[in-house]
Amino acid sequence: MTRGDDLRRIDIVEACAALEEVRRSRGTVNEEILIRAAERLLEIIGEASTNCSQQLKDQHPDVDWAGIAGLRVVLAHHYHRTQPELIWQFASVEAPALRTSLES
Q: What is the pLDDT of residue 104?
A: 84
Percent of the chain whose pLDDT exceeds 70: 99
Average pLDDT, stretch 88-97?
A: 94
Q: What is the pLDDT of residue 29?
A: 86
- Stated pTM of the model: 0.91
Which 3 state secondary structure label does DSSP give 34?
helix
Average pLDDT, stretch 80-89?
A: 87
Which is catalytic among the residues 77, 78, 80, 81? Answer: 77
Model pLDDT for residues 38-72, shown as the tens digit of each residue: 999 999 999 999 999 999 999 999 999 999 999 89
Q: What is the pLDDT of residue 16?
A: 98
The residues, ordered by sequence, that sit 6+ positions from 5 with a Cβ below 8 Å of its Cβ are 52, 53, 55, 56
Structural domains counted in the chain: 1
In degrees and rounded to multiples of 5, residue 27 shows phi and psi of 90, -10
Domain extent for 38: 5-103
Distances (CA, A) of 78 to 11, 46, 94: 23, 14, 21
Mean pLDDT (the chain) is 93
Known catalytic residue at 26: no
CA distance 68 to 87: 12
Q: How confident is the model at residue 1 (pLDDT cuts 50, 70, 90)?
A: low
Known catalytic residue at 77: yes
CA distance 61 to 58: 6
Which is catalytic among the residues 9, 23, 72, 99? Answer: 72
